[in-house]
Amino acid sequence: MITVSEAAAGQLKGLIEQQEPKGEVGLRVFIQSGGCSGFSYGMGLDDNPPRQDDEVVRLNGLSVYIDEYSAQYLEGAEIDYVDALMGGGFTIHNPNAVRTCSCGHSFQTADGAGEARGCGH
């Protein structure tokens, strides 16, 4: 299961309130093949109902949607928010990542899944 830190939950709740949603809004977290280490993270607010194969986790007053494919690579991961002078933002601490790129958005798992690419974003 994925977790969300209190700092990240606070930031996400603020973002959701700014959108003035008409219904439930969840955080969709996913991984996709690519990036400089093999996989890259993605996340965004989703005001659609969860899909049938989504894992839905309710944490700190938030709903987190993870598709079946991504769930296997995000098991035990934590979404955090870092407030730093030289750039902060959301980050994912993933115990399944054995190698990451300096960009912080790309990772590789022990089974080497994913195809590594250059660091250009």
d(CA 68, CA 75): 11
Q: Which residues contact 115 (CB under 8 A, 6 or more apart)?
A: 33, 34, 38
What percent of the chain stands above pLDDT 90? 31
Give DSSP secondary structure letters for 73-92. Answer: HHTT-EEEEE--TT--EEEE
Confidence of residue 82 (pLDDT cuts 50, 70, 90): confident
How confident is the model at residue 99, as a pLDDT?
54
Task: Tell me which of 117 and 76 has the higher pLDDT.
Answer: 76
How confident is the model at residue 1, as a pLDDT?
83
What would the pLDDT profile of 6-52 be if each residue is shown by its tens digit?
A: 999 999 999 888 887 778 899 999 988 765 657 788 889 999 999 99
Supply the DSSP symbol for 22: S
Kindly tell me if the per-residue pLDDT of 54 is higher than 80.
Answer: yes
What structural domains does the chain harbor?
3-109 (2.60.300.12)
Tell me how far CA of residue 108 lies from CA of 67, 89, 98, in angstroms: 19, 21, 6
Task: Tell me which of 48 and 86 has the higher pLDDT.
Answer: 48
